[in-house]
Chain A
Amino acid sequence: MRQAATDARGLIAAARDAGRAALSEAGAKAILASFDIKVPRGITVPRGRKPSTCVGALAAPFAIKVVSQAILHKSDVGGVRIGVAANDVDTAVADMEAGIAAKGLPIEGWLVEEMAPKGVEVVIGGTVDDRFGPCVRVGLGGVFIELIADVAFRLCPITRRDAAEMLDELRGVKLLRGWRGTQPADVKAVIDALVNVGGMDGLMLAFSGMIRELDINPLIVGKAGAVAADARIILERSAP
């Protein structure tokens, strides 16, 4: 197993020892990054610190998201702002904080990230089947996944060829390959990400018995490269 995976084990063990069912978004992204999946640059600002004083190294505009174990769907509670200019960071955080506090939900801090460049939204997921163990899936984001369940599914491990065939199975694959004069997205970056999740040395097999579910939604695929803009990792309940 790669060194990064060994480091990531510590992160998962600590979360589990703390009785958490899932990793924080920042934790999940740290694990993705250790498996060579690109994530936005960002910083977690603890509650009470003035955000604008912490984000100096990052380039605006920002995506700002609430950090709270109690909140699974951040946008449902008004805990996500995107495209925030550097001058508006503190106001945006204060607004969200007031709204969430009014709902009686606890807040640990704020994840402030650089905005990923625009691109095609892809969803990559990992699950663990009772009988067959780790599985991986890919779909196109937005209406494609909600409306027509345009998803390709495989057992882990997958090869690069499997990953390419998964993309070709998607009815909306033209969105990635280029359509109506749009430039093609970086398909190779999606294949890389899929293999880093579901391949022989991928995340799902490396953490077999530790991770119950992984969701990268979305992976934003640009002309060059792909960035995991949001990620969720749910932990197995019992120790391996």
Chain B
Amino acid sequence: MNAPVDEFARLLRPRSIAVVGASSSGAGLANSFIRNLQSANYAGQIYPVHPNAAQIEGLAAYKSLADLPKPVDYAYIAVSAERSPALFEAATGKVRFAQVISSGFAETGEAALEARLVAACRAAGARLLGPNCLGIFSAAGRVSFIDRVAMEPGGVAVLSQSGGLGVDILRRGQVRGLRYNCLVTLGNSADLTPVDLVQHLLADDEVKVIGLYLEDIRDGRRFFELLRRNAACKPVVILKGGRTVAGQRASASHTGALAQDDRIWTALAKQTGAVLVDTLDAFLDALLVFQLLTPRRGGSTRKVALFGNGGGTSVLASDAFSRAGFDIPTLNDRALSGLRALNLPPGSSIENPIDTPAPTLNQEKGAIAARILECIYDDGSIGAMVMHINMPVMLSFSDEAVLPNLIKAALDIQVKYPDRMHFLLVLRSDGELDIEAERARYRNLATGLGVPVFGELIEAARALSCLAWHENALARLRDDSH
């Protein structure tokens, strides 16, 4: 029953779309979907389906799926659960992929209705997405189920068994610099499961990293075998919902998920190299490092250099990176003698962490940072450079050129030696609106140049540990195959 892999290209780049459930009044999810398609400059044909309206959103409407003039690649269906199965009557061959948005199926105890929906889709030759989901986003297909999301294509593909979380992932993620290839919400996954789509995404060269929000994987054995064959070649980041008893109870009424042995997920991550995260923010940060940084193949990142302003911050950062499994070693003699020769003012520490208070960073209007970084880069054993800047401190006590120069130094060194070490930038803010605005500006600049930006050092530590986990699996699974 598995659709061939290239079938899914038609889902993500549909040539034509039917929309069932839009009203002539303009209200409702399905109407928004049509308007989103129009504002995204969707290039294919849109066919609204309505029992008696002649026009919907300015487009000619058809009475039923059976009445469509041509088969469609994708149908977006937002009518009540009870009415959904009957839509497919006499519509054989009319729809390739049908996504049923409505809830009121297995998650509310209506398993029989869900089974009828699956049977109706199969009889009509359609594959079903959902029910109980929100839609799809595809940058290349110029399709989006929500507004306020950039259509600029990227390498991040996400499957989500929660529609609402899918919205958060798209919107919150793009602000962090994530650029999506696609996002598919799968809800109850009554027919097509995340595993079917993972198979497609693993084979798609335009997809650089796969993110999954899962509640019930359904075909777990096939999932495990797919990931084992992948041998960590393409990073897969998993946010698993329902890992506690309370979470499983919530999940049962959310997507009808069955209770599972939680030990499965940690075992699966160890055996396949999949990256397991616990929060939405950790999920987005992990996707960001995989979007921007190239995993090291010869063994995982272990040694980290920390550089920035803030003594206590440097201590806490050392703790955070150390707890995440990294070393913060004293730099080698070459790097140290270079740093000594800079004659930094008292209060600076050139041991790793390299702690440089604001007066130090103010030297040469911040250009000193470039020279410090050059010295650190002389230690070839360092795997990752983490530079952190307390933005409000630098803005309050410094010449206005200092902060831009610090960030320029960070970005210049990354551009100059892109492969020498991973570069992560932490821009710390106090939450004031003007600082947040500055940070957003610098974040866009940095992510555009391939430097991931984080709000706190602990977040950078967590994201880097996801990358190291993957690098470790790459080396390990390659060994196992010999």
Contact = CB atoms under 8 A, between A and B. Distances in A.
A106 interface: no
Contact of B261 (A129, A158, A162): A129
B441 interface: no
B175 interface: no
Nearest to A162: B271
Given A130-B258, A154-B267, A154-B271, A159 B480 contact: yes
B268 interface: yes
Contacts of B261: 129, 135
Contacts of B217: 131
A153 B263 CA distance: 7
Interface string A128-147: 01111101010000000000
Nearest to A132: B220
Given A131-B219, A131-B220, A132-B224, A154 B270 contact: yes
Contacts of B219: 131
Contact of B260 (A131, A161, A162): A131
A232 to B, nearest CB: 19
Interface in B206-263: 216-221, 223-224, 258, 260-261, 263
Q: Which range holds the interface residue count of chain A? A: 10 to 19
B264 interface: yes
B221 A133 contact: yes
Interface string A194-212: 0000000000000000000
A155 interface: yes
A161 B480 contact: yes
A165 interface: yes
A200 to B, nearest CB: 11
A162 B217 CA distance: 23
Q: Which range holds the interface residue count of chain B? A: 20 to 34
Contacts of B263: 137, 153
B256 to A, nearest CB: 14
A154 B268 CA distance: 7
A153 B221 contact: no
A35 to B, nearest CB: 21
Contacts of A159: 480
Contacts of B270: 154, 162, 165
A201 B258 CA distance: 30
Contacts of B480: 159, 161
B271 A155 contact: yes
Contacts of B216: 131
B267 A155 contact: yes
A163 to B, nearest CB: 12
A132 B271 contact: no
B260 A155 contact: no
Contacts of B218: 131
Nearest to A159: B480
Contacts of A158: 271
Nearest to A154: B267
A169 B271 CA distance: 14
B267 A129 contact: no
Interface in A187-233: none
Contacts of B476: 161
A154 to B, nearest CB: 5
Given A159-B480, A161-B480, A131 B221 contact: yes
B267 A153 contact: yes
A162 B476 CA distance: 11
B260 to A, nearest CB: 6
A135 B476 CA distance: 21
Interface string B455-482: 0000000000000000000001001100
B276 to A, nearest CB: 14
Interface string B63-97: 00000000000000000000000000000000000
A155 B216 CA distance: 17
A155 B264 contact: yes
Nearest to A161: B480
A162 B228 CA distance: 13
A135 B267 contact: yes
Nearest to B223: A132
A35 B261 CA distance: 27
Contact of A129 (B220, B266, B479): B220
A132 B264 contact: yes
Contacts of A133: 220-221
Contacts of A137: 263
Most chain A CB within a 10 A radius of its CB, from B216, B218, B270, B476? B270
Nearest to B265: A132
Nearest to A130: B258
A133 to B, nearest CB: 4
A154 B267 CA distance: 5
A130 B258 CA distance: 9
Contacts of B258: 130-131
Given A155-B224, A159-B480, A161-B480, A129 B260 contact: yes
A129 B264 CA distance: 9
A159 B481 CA distance: 11
A161 to B, nearest CB: 6
Contacts of A165: 270
Contacts of B223: 132
B382 to A, nearest CB: 28
13 contacts: A131-B218, A131-B219, A132-B221, A132-B223, A132-B224, A135-B261, A153-B264, A155-B224, A155-B271, A158-B271, A161-B480, A162-B270, A162-B271
Q: Which 7 pairs from chain A and chain B are nearest by CB?
A: A131-B220, A132-B220, A153-B263, A133-B221, A154-B267, A153-B267, A155-B267
Given A129-B261, A133-B221, A154-B271, 13 more contacts: A130-B260, A131-B216, A131-B221, A131-B260, A131-B264, A132-B223, A132-B224, A132-B264, A135-B267, A153-B264, A155-B224, A155-B264, A162-B270
